Structure 1
Amino acid sequence: MPDRLEFEITEGVLMIGKSYIDDALCELHELGVKLSMDDFGTGYSSLSYLRQYSFDVLKIDRSFINGINVKREDRNLVTATIAMAHSLGLSVVAEGVETREQLDLLEELGCDIAQGFYFSKPISAKELISFKYTESP
């Protein structure tokens, strides 16, 4: 069931510009594997990559999430990124969510998924099996 797999790739890898990367991403997409652009906003040609490849998910880099509640510029960039991604039919993941305030604002802005230490520190596969999320105070 390839549709249950998601392959993340950073802009840095795409910037290398090797044809085998293009071929591999096309083959993965044809198999039904979801493609995710990781660390969006940290490279130089993000928008052209969104046109060039069949991405399903866009992951907003944590550097934009860190200041989302205190810097208007960060909030505006995240707002625009979410709107742009949704207009292209992409799901949006916010990386590096550490506070309830960040999560609340991301939900308000229409972000689809959030990940970060707010939910849990990194854990092993064995720990994941018995993991139960509890809301932080």
Structure 2
Amino acid sequence: MAEEKKGFIKEFGEFVARGNVMNMAVGVIIGGAFSNITKSLTDDIISPILGLFGGANFDQYVLPLSGDAVISYGKFITAVINFLIMAFVVFWLVKTVNRIVDKATPKKPEAPAAPTTKICPFCKSEIALEAIRCPHCTSEIPKMRPASEG
């Protein structure tokens, strides 16, 4: 039982130490901090500016139901604005990083495609690579030896 536990702990340690898990953890932490920045941008800057045109802050828009119960649809609008800002910034960041990576990555020349046709030695028409008789002049095509056989 103790040996199984050590194996499990070792396996878990290897799992956590993998780059993907660590990258994801860093991303979640940075995403949480970025979410706070985006929320502050929306709540403290954008909503008050938009409130100048509408006369009120979005967070104050509510739909009273009964008694103290209300639907705070203004807070939902603020959350949608937060999401759109965050999505735009993340899109911009990913696009910028991809552009930088593309410029830094050396381009490999594409290998030419394997030929699918050959030239008939008699009539010089283009024919299928596997052809043993030319469909144009009906000549029998001699089997060509590969260049490596010389």
> Given the two structures, how large is their TM-score scaled by the length of structure 2?
0.21
* Structure (1/2) with the larger strand percentage: 1
The structure with the greater share of residues assigned to helix is 2
Which is greater in Rg? 2
Q: TM-score, normalised by structure 1?
A: 0.23
